Amino acid sequence: MNLLGNLTWSAIPFDQPIIMGASGGMILGIVFVLGWVTLKGYLPYLWREWITSVDHKRIGVMYLVLAMLMLLRGFSDAIMMRAQQAVAAGGAQGYLPPEHFDQIFSAHGTIMIFFVAMPLVIGLMNFAVPLQLGIRDMAFPTLNAVSLGLTASGILLINVSLFVGEFAKTGWVAYPPLSELQFSPGVGVDYYLWSLQISGLGTLLTGINFVTTILKTRAAGMSYMRMPVFCWTALASNLLIVAAFPVLTAAMAMLLLDRYLGFHFFSVDGGGNAMMYVNLFWVWGHPEVYILVLPAFGIYSEVSATFSGKPLFGYRSMVAATMAICVLAFTVWLHHFFTMGASASVNAFFGVASMMIAVPTGVKIFNWLFTMYGGRIRFTVPVLWTIGFMVTFVLGGLTGVLLAVPPVDWQVHNSVFLVAHFHHVIIPGVVFGAFAGYTYWFPKAFGFKLEESWGRRAFWCWFIGFHVAFMPMYVVGLMGMTRRLQHYDVLSWQPWLIVAAAGVAIIFAGVVCQIVQFVVSIRAREELRDVTGDPWNGRTLEWSTASPPPAWNYAVLPRVTGLDAFWTRKKLARVTQGESAPAREYEPIEVPKNSAIGFVNAFFAVVAGFALIWHIWWMVIFGAFGAFIAIVLFAFRNEEEVEIPAERIARFDHAHPAEVTL
């Protein structure tokens, strides 16, 4: 018996200078950071305050750190693809061999959707939702840490694939029969499947956690129609997670059974049905689009109301539109493969349903416009991202309506036109929103604002770079260029692809601006300090506590009397000014105890995942058994909560008078 399963030295691509360089750089980076942290003596602090933390704010920040790092990885893939397509025309073959190019586009899609966009929105929801609901933590704080750990495990596995073995060459959707063992005998598809199964479980647990939190643990007086819109969109997004992710889990489990045990779900022989995978995949995949985009819509709603100094226009219609999108999300999956050959009436149904989603989305756009209309708008960086989003997203949405027409779709199916379309909605729809939320909540999380001018530069580079990069792709798409081409012979496409590559360079300048902004802001943190806890003159409850908020969020749980709870209280405070505020009475607060279970579970998940990929069966048993023992031991712990004494809360409150002086 081979102790290391299929793993041999040949798994490491020593002959590929690009891959070895990239993975060498990553390993050096990790070693450097770990070494620095250890030498500086930060490890105990990191362990105590972050890795074992069950505080939703800390977990949110860690999700965002993961997402930002993976954004750099996914973006590097994008740069490589654009560079390859800019040069590999006619006789030139470019610098990437086909098998490497295939891995890059698969990794780009997988990383950007699962390990950038998902942790971005989940991180922002983690940070903001409990604060906005006026509560002290999520419904299941420790489960939240487990979710984070599982997401991190998936991320680790997919990055290991760069160095040990290979990644899938099947595209990020991994359609069979190509992804079956017969046509993809390597470990690439297994890396893809196991990292997504592990992180998908984490996402599902997150969804359950948020739905329960939002439906069952709101502050006193916060009825549904008093919830901030971001909480509504978070609710819709997490309902979609709960209803959609199990389908992905099932589909991938079937593909795994095909690959590992020779089942016949999607195989070409034995009666398998490959189109069933495509259907199941998109039954998850289309709701996934709204899982990502709805929280961003929530952020835009918060930003446009706050910085216009007005209540959100049409709150009720915004809520209705959000929930309508949530339901309609499940009625359109077939528009991803009109060419499957379903009957005309089936295609017509899904085409019409797809167009119908444009209606509630349009409602939202008008609501944001009317919120800004007549408002006293402050053109801060979050507002720039919001306006940039509206301008861009409307156009991207229109190309989506084009694609929803089955005959048109038949012409441009699988072309670069499609690639341009979905980047045109997902970059403004998710990435811009996440950047707006990052800038908007940064002072709440760290106690100082991000520097403005570098933020503006970053926005303009992204905005201009985005259009330069993706508009040409509509053109080459209509000229007949299919997606995922490592090389092409049509020389008339090349000028457009060179322009697209230039666009990526401009976006790169935007990313550099963001890194500079981060560094500059940390250096100038004393000037950018937010001492009030309410730097933007906000409307929702998170601005009513200190920045950064204490572990218990609110010394006394707020009582909500209307929509825009904090704004209402500020208005009321002006009226009652002069009356001395009653002295507060503090009570000890119980907060959930830190736990290493998230980290330990993540460790065993990585071990088991890696072992499964390489068929190292003893290690699979070790990983699974370890995780089981860890969970049982956790279930037997005696203390679940620690009490924070009233004096400490009083002391904190007196040092941060924002909440009291209101």
Give the active site residues. 63, 73, 77, 81, 105, 126, 137, 144, 147, 151, 203, 206, 213, 286, 288, 290, 301, 317, 361, 364, 421-423
Q: Which of 31, 43, 46, 253 binds another protein (CB under 8 A)?
A: 253
Alpha carbon distance, N-terminus to C-terminus of the chain: 71
The answer to whether residue 221 forms part of the interface with another protein (CB under 8 A) is yes
Peptide linkage before 177 cis (omega within 30 of 0): yes
Is 125:210 a contact under the CB 8 Å cutoff?
yes
User: Do residues 545 and 658 touch, judged by C-beta distance below 8 A?
Assistant: yes
| Least distance from another protein to the Cβ atom of residue 148, Å | 17
Q: Does 257 bind another protein (CB under 8 A)?
A: yes
Of 273, 317, 331, 482, the residue at the interface with another protein (CB under 8 A) is 273
Helix (H, G, I), strand (E, B) or coil at 89: strand
| Contact pattern from residue 283 through residue 312 relative to another protein, giving x for each residue in contact according to CB under 8 A and a dash for the rest | x-----------------------------
578 binds another protein (CB under 8 A): no
In angstroms, rounded to a whole number, what is the distance separating the alpha carbons of residues 212 and 239?
Answer: 10
Pick one of 218, 424, 444, 656: the residue that binds another protein (CB under 8 A).
218
Applying CB under 8 A, does 537 fall inside the site for another protein?
A: no
- Min dist. Cβ of residue 605 to another protein (A): 17
Q: Residue 661 is encoded by which pair of tokens?
A: 């002086």
Q: Which uninterrupted H or E stretch holds 643?
A: strand 641-644
Least distance (Å) between residue 530 CB and another protein: 28
Query: Residue 146 Cβ, how far from another protein at the closest point, in Å?
Result: 13
Q: Which is nearer to another protein, 219 or 450 (CB)?
A: 219
How far apart, in whole angstroms, are the C-alpha atoms of residue 102 and residue 168? 8
Number of residues that bind another protein (CB under 8 A): 51
DSSP letter at 84 equals: H
Residue 382 near another protein by CB under 8 A: no
Instruction: Find the part of the chain contacting another protein (CB under 8 A) among 48-56, 269-277, 351-359, 464-472.
Output: 269-277
Among 39-47, 54-62, 82-90, 244-252, which window interacts with another protein (CB under 8 A)?
244-252
Q: Are 503 and 439 in contact (CB under 8 A)?
A: no
Residue 263 found at the interface with another protein (CB under 8 A): yes
Q: Does 563 bind another protein (CB under 8 A)?
A: no
Backbone φ and ψ for 644, nearest 5 degrees, come out as: -95, 120
**CA 117 to the chain's CA centroid:** 3
Whether the CB-CB separation of 310 and 373 falls below 8 Å is answered with: no
Q: How far is the CB of 632 from another protein (least distance, A)?
A: 6
CA distances (Å), origin 103, targets 20, 99, 189, 196: 14, 7, 10, 16
The single residue among 245, 393, 448, 603 that binds another protein, judged by CB under 8 A, is 245
Nearest to 587 by CA among 497, 535, 545, 647: 647
Does position 71 interact with another protein (CB under 8 A)? The reply is no
Residues 226/231/237/240 CA torsion (nearest 10 deg): -50
Give me the phi and psi of 532, to 5 degrees please. -85, -25
* DSSP for 489-547, written as a single string: --GGGHHHHHHHHHHHHHHHHHHHHHHHHHHHHHHTTTTTB--SS-TT---SGGGGS-S
Q: Is 268 in the site for another protein (CB under 8 A)?
A: no
Nearer to another protein, 88 or 196 (CB): 196
CB of 629 to another protein, least distance (A): 11
Work out how close the CB of 157 gets to another protein at its nearest, in angstroms, rounded to a whole number.
22
CB–CB of 557/220 below 8 Å? Answer: yes
Site residues for another protein per CB under 8 A: 135, 139-140, 204, 207-209, 211-212, 215-224, 242-247, 249-251, 253-254, 257-258, 261-265, 267, 269-273, 276, 280, 283, 557, 632, 635-636, 640
